[in-house]
Amino acid sequence: MNRFDNKVVVIAGGGSGMGRVSCQKFAAEGAAVGVVDINEAGAAETVRLIAEAGGKAKAYKVDITKEDEMKKLFSDVVADFGRIDVYFTIAGISPVGTATTTEFEDFKKVVELDMYSVFLGCKYSIPYMEQQGGGVIIVLSGTYGIRPTPNKIGYSAAKAGAISLTRSVAIDFARSNIRCNTICPGFVNTPLNNGFEGEARQRFLNTYQPAPFEIQSEDIANTALFLASDDSRAITGQTIVVDGGTEAALYLNYKRPSAK
């Protein structure tokens, strides 16, 4: 028996990258998957790949920063599948800028997508989870929400807020059998980072990441599967860092050996 047989999993940002891989992995474990993305074509392609592999999924085009759309999303999922067992929110943006170089409108955009959307997802998924006796919420944050890095004020602030929201939800709804945790990836080999390649990419990995390999989307998806499963039933309100040891170290002073 698969871990997620008869479960319904909703994944925001499921149209590409880590989101698509996560959708595929949950479906392979038996879940019916709601693939949420503002990119309709991307969500449809994820659904096609899942169906091709024998899984069950449906695409939902949603702007996760819009309250009316988020409210309708969970209502539609319950109408389509009967319940919501897991909500995993992945979508986000990562602009650069300091307090003086970032325009206020751009700051608001990253806070809306990386933090406000987390609040909306919790607000409108939790009532359904309470009615059915429990559920799991997983928030993709980032290590810059733990330790800000230069030139990333909006992203770092929004992700720190998302981590705090995760903890609040966890303690407010633990007695309703609802768990909420956040995953903080380090540098992950996804399409989002395709522009960061070559010597600069290798120098970053050599300097900051102790683990001698590039973290893949599958590493994040596997962490989400564990946190969504009954194997982690005692884990809630936690920040799970998946970064090859980067956040644990101030810097490295040795050259990383080549991966075998």
Q: Hey, which residues are catalytic here? A: 155
Question: Could you give the CA distance from residue 117 to residue 108 in angstroms, rounded to a whole number?
Answer: 12
Question: Could you give the CA distance from residue 51 to residue 175 in angstroms, rounded to a whole number?
Answer: 36
Contact criterion met (CB below 8 Å) for 187 and 12? no
Distances from the Cα of 206 to the Cαs of 31, 89, 217, 220, 258, in angstroms? 38, 30, 20, 21, 10
Which 3 state secondary structure label does DSSP give 137?
strand
Question: Could you give the CA distance from residue 211 to residue 115 in angstroms, rounded to a whole number?
Answer: 29
Which 3 state secondary structure label does DSSP give 227?
helix
**196 contact partners, CB below 8 Å, separation of at least 6:** 204
| Structure tokens belonging to residue 247 | 């956040």
The CB density around residue 98, as the number of other CB atoms within 10 Å, is: 11
